[in-house]
Structure 1
Amino acid sequence: MSGSNSSELRVLCSSGQLLLQPLWDRLRTRDALTQSPFFPVIFAITTYMAFCLPFVVLDALCPWVPALRRYKIHPDFSPSVQQLLPCLGRTLYQHVVFVLPVTLLHWAHAPAFLPPEAPELLQLLRHVVLCLLLFDAEFFAWHVLHHKVPWLYRTFHKLHHQNASSFALATQYMSIWELFSLGFFDMVNVTLLGCHPLTVLVFHVLNVWLSVEDHSGYDFPWSTHRLVPFGWYGGVAHHDLHHSQFNCNFAPYFTHWDKLLGTLRPCPSQLGDETPGKAP
């Protein structure tokens, strides 16, 4: 019986690997790009901008399309050009001036290696979930520390709170120390777990999307926190409360650490008010 179960598991794993192999083979044929020392920075900026752009368009349309306001957490707020440009400028500046040199040094020390085989699907999913949970715990500890120690807050984290009402391009409006801290957590986690390069790409894409969604200011019926059951995932309204009240909801994604340490503050929708866009 146990031998039969083992055989079924091996078949399932092989099927998962075969499912991802065509995608991985296609990526490997573009090794001039994917193995380039410039790829990580190009990938990071492109992914971030691709996720921010739809929300920038929605913010531009919002004054002219009243129906959109019912999904905004702050219906009367739309970021101005004077708010958008500094956020965009800081993101590009920090990636070019700081992130790119560090990436080049890392590549010179350990050039990218792309194995011929794709990861198993179940392994990819497991590693992505573990990376998210580890990142959530690490950033929660970092975040609480930078709010509780006044010098750390003033020096490193205050910049991110300059925009009380969040918008997508404000996601990476942060000090270089904060940006490197988040990047360090990412790198350590995928290294400790021995993640396949395809898993790393999937995790980074998902992580960027979740962080942009958390700062977007839009609470749609299909937003991530509405899709995850039992209130396990905080989401955009949850994170907006942190930006407006400062002393709650420190975890970036999930709610268990805030629950355990008594810093969780439910958003109105979690208290039974299902009206999107209603201010807390």
Structure 2
Amino acid sequence: MHNLTMSRHNGSELHILCSSGHLFLQPLWDRLRTWEALIQSPFFPVVFSITTYVGFCLPFVVLDIICPWVPALRRYKIHPDFSPSVRQLLPCLGLTLYHHVVFIFPMTLLHWVASRAPLPPEAPELLQVARHVVFCLLLFDAEFFVWHVLHHKVPWLYRSFHKMHHQNSSSFALATQYVSVWELFSLGFFDMVNVLLLRCHPLTVLIFHVVNIWLSVEDHSGYDFPWSTHRLVPFGWYGGVAHHDMHHSQFNCNFAPYFTHWDRILGTLQSAHAK
């Protein structure tokens, strides 16, 4: 009887926690739904993607500009003597804008024509959002790892599609999306399939895209701060900016974009700290 009472008590606590998570996100979701016409338009994914990406890149661009005159900042820069020039920054930004206008917008338009479901009235539970975002990141990490290894091990794939991303050996934020059209669509396909497989709520999809864009920009930023993501994740499970920089400099290691378990399992993990 005592165990039954405790079980009911624990179940009630879990229900309250989930309900609290739901109530926590509902005001935000209600506010977003007032802009449903904008969110449901074919222009929104393109504008959202560009503004999020450029917004995350701009602080690092500013840091690169002031870094030569701020010695204290150089201690956090992986390559202290490197700063991207205007001739490197502008082509990267131009290619990102070109890809979004010429390729991403038409695909978004096709998707908009094919499926225009109304936004759900209820927000997702907070725990569900966290769980789905983590699962999406883990799935993307595994998919990109396989894609990445193939495009390094097969010379034709590397020359034809992935070499473009490695033209900047010392990475910087705006070089994150300096990729071929094939790579652009491959990564976009992984994103789309994962949120569909998990049946993510539209709010979860937005949060996942923001997190994914931030992590990719941070990995290419060239700055290793005390608050960088890899320092916040325990046991070395997350690689981080120095980890990914090792891939750009050595080519044959650290193929996973974020986490370290696949490289560790398959023997391609190279510790940035050992370097």
Could you tell me which amino acid in structure 2 is paired with residue 29 of structure 1? T
Q: Distance in 2 between matches of 1:21 and 1:4?
A: 25
SS across alignment from 2:69: coil
Q: Which residue of structure 2 lines up, in the alignment, with residue 275 of structure 1?
A: none
Aligned-pair CA distance for 1:112: 4.6
1:157-202 per-position Cα deviation (integer Å, ceiling 9, x unaligned): 0000000000000000000110111110000000000000000000
Q: Which residue of structure 2 lines up, in the alignment, with residue 245 of structure 1?
A: 250
How do 1:94-133 residues align onto structure 2 when only pairs under 5 Å count? Answer: 94-133=99-138
Q: Distance in 2 between matches of 1:33 and 1:112?
A: 14
Q: Which residue of structure 1 lines up, in the alignment, with residue 16 of structure 2?
A: 11
Q: Distance in 2 between matches of 1:184 and 1:256?
A: 23
One of 256, 264, 272 as aligned partner of 2:261: 256
Could you tell me which amino acid in structure 2 is paired with residue 217 of structure 1? G
One of 40, 47, 53 as aligned partner of 2:52: 47
How do 1:89-238 residues align onto structure 2 when only pairs under 5 Å count? Answer: 89-238=94-243
Q: Which residue of structure 1 lines up, in the alignment, with residue 3 of structure 2?
A: none
Bigger shift: 237-246 or 110-119? 110-119
Q: Distance in 2 between matches of 1:260 and 1:9?
A: 36
Q: Which residue of structure 1 lines up, in the alignment, with residue 89 of structure 2?
A: 84
Q: Using a 3 Å threshold, how does the CA distance of structure 1 residues 57 and 112 change in structure 2: closer, same or farther?
A: farther
1:227-257 per-position Cα deviation (integer Å, ceiling 9, x unaligned): 1110000000000000000000000000000
Identical-residue share of aligned pairs (%): 81
Q: Which residue of structure 1 lines up, in the alignment, with residue 61 of structure 2?
A: 56
Q: Which runs of 5+ in 1 are unaligned?
A: 272-279
Q: Distance in 2 between matches of 1:224 and 1:88?
A: 24
Task: Output the TM-score relative to the length of structure 2.
Answer: 0.97
Could you tell me which amino acid in structure 2 is paired with residue 59 of structure 1? D
Aligned-pair CA distance for 1:260: 0.1
Q: Distance in 1 between matches of 2:256 and 2:18?
A: 33
Q: Distance in 2 between matches of 1:181 and 1:62?
A: 34
Q: Which runs of 5+ in 2 are unaligned?
A: 1-5
Q: Using a 3 Å threshold, how does the CA distance of structure 1 residues 189 and 54 change in structure 2: closer, same or farther?
A: same
Could you tell me which amino acid in structure 1 is paired with residue 262 of structure 2? W
What RMSD over aligned residues (CA atoms) do the two structures have, in Å? 0.8
Aligned-pair CA distance for 1:2: 2.4
Q: Distance in 2 between matches of 1:157 and 1:222?
A: 30
Aligned-pair CA distance for 1:37: 1.0
Q: Distance in 1 between matches of 2:234 and 2:18?
A: 27
Could you tell me which amino acid in structure 2 is paired with residue 125 of structure 1? A
Q: Which residue of structure 2 lines up, in the alignment, with residue 67 of structure 1?
A: 72
1:191-234 per-position Cα deviation (integer Å, ceiling 9, x unaligned): 00000000000000000000000000000010011111100000
Moved over 3 A (4+): none
Q: Distance in 1 between matches of 2:156 and 2:43?
A: 35
Bigger shift: 5-14 or 195-204? 5-14
1:28-78 per-position Cα deviation (integer Å, ceiling 9, x unaligned): 001121111110010000000000000000000011112111000000000
Could you tell me which amino acid in structure 2 is paired with residue 151 of structure 1? W
Q: Distance in 2 between matches of 1:9 and 1:62?
A: 49
Count of residue pairs the alignment pairs up? 270
Task: Output the TM-score relative to the length of structure 1.
Answer: 0.95
Q: Distance in 2 between matches of 1:230 and 1:16?
A: 28
